[in-house]
Amino acid sequence: MRERGRGQPVRIRGAWFRERDDGQAPPFREERPGSRTLVFGAQAVAAAAVASLAFLPVLAGREPWFVRLAALVCAAALAGAHVAWFARGRVRRPVLALVVQAALGFLPFLQLGALWSTAPSFFAGGLLLAFRPGKAVPGAVLVCVAAGGVSGWSAGSVDAAVAGAVSAGVAALTLFGLATAARLVAERADEVRELKRQAIAEERKRFSRDLHDLLGLSLSAITLKGELVDRLVLSRPAQAKDELAELLVMSRRALADVRTIAAGYRELSLDDECRAAAAVLSAAGTRVTVARSGIGDLPPRVATALATALREGVTNVVRHSTASWCAFSVSTEDGTAWLEIVNDGAGGAAGGGVDSGAGLRNLSARVEDLKGTLTTEAGADGTHRLVVAIPVREPRAPRAPRTPRAPRQGGRRWAS
């Protein structure tokens, strides 16, 4: 199977869908709202036309009025039965439908003869729609030949037999083709509906994940700052005012995060997140050690994933652990970007495994989308470690400049 690059269109039963570069749900190109109505309407018109072709010879003949009326009723019943059972391409109660079509298609032959030669086409078309081709095609051919044979026998003419068989066959193929088109339209509509349902579910999942990942640290920082201001407002009003100013900055940042979640995917600055994480840990009274190296040239998606992982890891340290110190490092080595967060609060919920909370589950899904790994472990000394490794796509090496070949003897010399 040929690999498809991200962002290239995908064709599904005649509809084109384009995957977004940010991994979110693709936008859907809506099908034309009148396509199904048009196909089903054409199916009903075709059934009425075939029924008319079967009835018009009777109307033009010399049969009594009650025979003509009976023929009209039979033709209308054939068209109605076909629309009721086969118009949407899905065969409902095929045995009952075929029995009705066979009875209405062949019994009038006893009275009408060659005038009724087109009516068995409903039965032949029903066979093509109800059974597999291996059984349906021979049966439909036999029905058309039988219709032609009865027409030729009643008219005493070979030409009448050929005309009856051909007209029945053409009408059967018309009914079969339109019913098949209706079935394909219905299947395509079902596929588009399922794809829409999956896209909506994926978008809800993305929104929930981004809401948790982007706002968790901001809200935790706002809570810590608010508690600190509450403690300082009476004893140190000047410092409380400074902390309150920082709290306003954090709240504006959280508001900006909410807006970006509603708008879609956003890129996070890994440097900014490192500084913000250190500030939040310091505000929580946790000693912080930060190490960064070789992260300036990371691809945006990798940097965003590491920044999100850093947010979630620090949020868990602040919310769920009793850590007195925390150290985190971000680096690039051997084509892999690494994030490591270590703290001494493994006794809390932060020491759980990857499945211990929705945040780590979301984070694991983000990392796996980039072919990376996320591991957590609790040490015997009471420490907790979270490690994220994401491969970095290395740029292609530039081609070496081509060395011009020496000119041939007697040819033009290279300009110096």
pLDDT digits (tens, 9 = 90+) for 119-149: 888 888 888 888 888 888 998 899 888 888 8
Would you list the DSSP string of 180-217? HHHHHHHHHHHHHHHHHHHHHHHHHHHHHHHHHHHHHH
Q: How far is CA 184 from the centre of its chain?
A: 19
- H-helix segments, 296-413: 300-320, 358-369
326-343 per-position pLDDT tens digit: 999 999 988 899 999 999
Find out whether 100 and 81 touch, Cβ atoms under 8 Å.
Answer: yes
Residue 28 has φ and ψ, to the nearest 5°, of: -105, 135
> CA 377 to CA 282: how far, in whole Å?
24
What are the domain boundaries of the chain? 35-189, 267-393
Give the residue from 124, 147, 103, 118 showing the smallest Cα distance to 59: 118
pLDDT higher than 90, residue 387:
yes
Give the span between the Cα atoms of 144 and 150, in whole angstroms. 10
Please give the CATH topology (third level) of the domain spanning 267-393.
Answer: Heat Shock Protein 90 (3.30.565)
Structure letter (DSSP) for residue 28:
B
Q: What is the DSSP letter of 54?
A: H
Closest CA to 206 of 308, 276, 298: 308
The confidence band for 273, taking pLDDT boundaries of 50, 70 and 90, is: confident
The pTM of this model reads 0.48
The most distant pair of C-alpha atoms in the chain lies apart, rounded to whole Å, by: 118
Is residue 188 within 8 Å of 39, Cβ to Cβ?
no
